[in-house]
Amino acid sequence: MAVRMSRGFVVSVVALYALGAVLILAPEPAASDDASPIVSQRQLVAITPVTPVAPAPVDSAALERNAFVRFHEAPLTRLLRRRSRSADTADQIARALVREANRLRLAPSLLAAVLITENPRLEPASVSSQGATGLMQVMPFHAGEFGCASDDLLDVEANICHGARILGQYYRRTGDVHTALLRYNGCVASTNTPRCDRYPGKVLKLAGKVRRELLHYAETRAN
């Protein structure tokens, strides 16, 4: 009985070794075509295409505000001196424009563009055939309406005060710069105002040019 058990034990051990050899030597099952490969996180990052991020658009209005905060009216003074026969008058105009722009929360470049469009030579005493007066060509019936320090439309600061506040009032009413400029120009369909619908585009184009010059000034002074 003992001999038979020993032989059985030996047989069992041999059988187990044989089975182990079969399992070790047996080839691995082939991966099916639809099996998903295992990719590490690092490999995934490496092979994932990177979408370029476009740079944020430059806010030129903010840059203009910063230029005036840093340099006050100096950027505008330089520009206006090239148009005026009097440096003192150019300085006075620049100060008044910046002051009214801050009060009305309008860009100085816009107010300057309106003034230059209305009065390219910056002549405070100019009067049109229709009676529009001064730097911003304000009609006399507006004098004294806007709480300006003076109602003398031939005075540099009073004229700019009236003109800026007229434009500011139209902008608050309409919420649209284009429409506000049309109203400032008194644009109505008549023989007295031919092609007046072009006025906003002309002013806004000039405002863009003025802004670029102001920013160029600030950039050169900052370096």
Q: What is the mean pLDDT of each run of 10 residues along the chain (223 residues)?
A: 46 45 44 52 56 70 94 95 94 97 96 98 95 97 95 97 98 95 83 79 97 94 81
CB 67 within 8 A of CB 215: yes
Q: CA–CA separation, 67 vs 18, rounded Å?
A: 89
CB 66 within 8 A of CB 218: yes
Instruction: With CA atoms as reference, report the closest residue to 210 among 86, 56, 101, 55.
Output: 101
**What confidence score (pLDDT) does residue 177 get?**
96
Q: CA–CA separation, 115 vs 163, rounded Å?
A: 8
- With H, G, I as helix, E, B as strand and everything else as coil, classify residue 138: strand
* Per-residue DSSP letter, 121: T
> Does a structural domain hold residue 181?
no
**What confidence score (pLDDT) does residue 222 get?**
81
Burial of 154 (0-12, 13-18, 19+ CB in 10 A): middle
> Does a structural domain hold residue 192?
no
> Does a structural domain hold residue 159?
yes
> Does a structural domain hold residue 100?
yes
How much is the pTM? 0.74
Total domains in the chain come to 1
> Does a structural domain hold residue 111?
yes
> Does a structural domain hold residue 16?
no
Task: Supply the range of the domain harboring residue 149.
Answer: 60-168+207-222
* Per-residue DSSP letter, 141: G
> Does a structural domain hold residue 82?
yes
Q: CA–CA separation, 212 vs 216, rounded Å?
A: 6
- With H, G, I as helix, E, B as strand and everything else as coil, classify residue 133: strand
**What confidence score (pLDDT) does residue 20 get?**
45
> Does a structural domain hold residue 40?
no
**What confidence score (pLDDT) does residue 121 get?**
95
